[in-house]
Amino acid sequence: MASRLRKAGYGLTVAGALAVGFVGGKEGLSTKAYRDVVGVPTICFGETRGVKMGDTATVEECKAMLGDALVEFEGNMRACLTNPDAIPDKPYVSFLSVSYNIGSRAFCGSTIARRANAGDLVGACNAILAWNKAGGRVIRGLVARRKEEQRMCLEGL
């Protein structure tokens, strides 16, 4: 499946650079494993898969991990969107940011994806705000992140 983040032999696309900068900035960088707000071991730019407390990584390893993860999550996101290439870059990156943060399965089952597939991109952008909880409680940082994702999403329409 095609990626709008990377072009073979050319590196990152405009959407790819936007995604890395936006998601990396929202996730923050830690080269040592820590427990996130719900206690999950996390490293680099929000990576949780296979992470154990005590793990470390270099900044370069973290950047590579983020780029690879974004392309992986993009593929999963594209698989559940009926016409992903019709979505402008900023909403596309906003949806990818949410998908990376909540997981592909949750994104694909979300109102965001359903509204995008129905052609209601404004409604999809507004549905981003609902994803402000972790561990069953509203998290101030997620409220702020979702507002920024929604703002960028709507700005791109």
Asked whether the predicted pLDDT for residue 1 surpasses 70, the reply is no
Catalytic one among 27, 47, 74, 149?
Answer: 27
End-to-end CA distance of the chain: 24
Is 74 labeled as catalytic in the residue annotation?
Answer: no
Any alpha helices (H) in 1-157, and if so which ranges? 14-27, 59-80, 89-102, 104-108, 111-117, 121-127, 140-155
| Cβ atoms 44, 31 nearer than 8 A | yes
Nearest one of 40, 105, 104, 45 to 72, comparing CA atoms: 104
Asked whether the predicted pLDDT for residue 6 surpasses 90, the reply is no
Nearest one of 35, 54, 56, 52 to 44, comparing CA atoms: 56
Is 27 labeled as catalytic in the residue annotation?
Answer: yes
Catalytic one among 36, 72, 120, 148?
Answer: 36
Q: pLDDT digit string (tens) for 79-107?
A: 999 999 999 999 999 999 999 999 999 99
The DSSP secondary-structure symbol of 53 reads T
β-pairing verdict for 11-12 and 30-35 = unpaired
Q: 0.85 cut: is pTM over it?
A: yes
Q: pLDDT digit string (tens) for 23-78?
A: 999 999 999 999 999 999 999 999 999 999 999 999 999 999 999 999 999 999 99
CA atoms 50, 148, 31, 40: torsion sign: negative
Nearest one of 5, 146, 148, 149 to 71, comparing CA atoms: 5
β-pairing verdict for 11-12 and 6-7 = antiparallel
Those residues whose C-beta lies under 8 Å from the C-beta of residue 126, and which sit 6 or more positions away, are 150, 154
Those residues whose C-beta lies under 8 Å from the C-beta of residue 61, and which sit 6 or more positions away, are 44
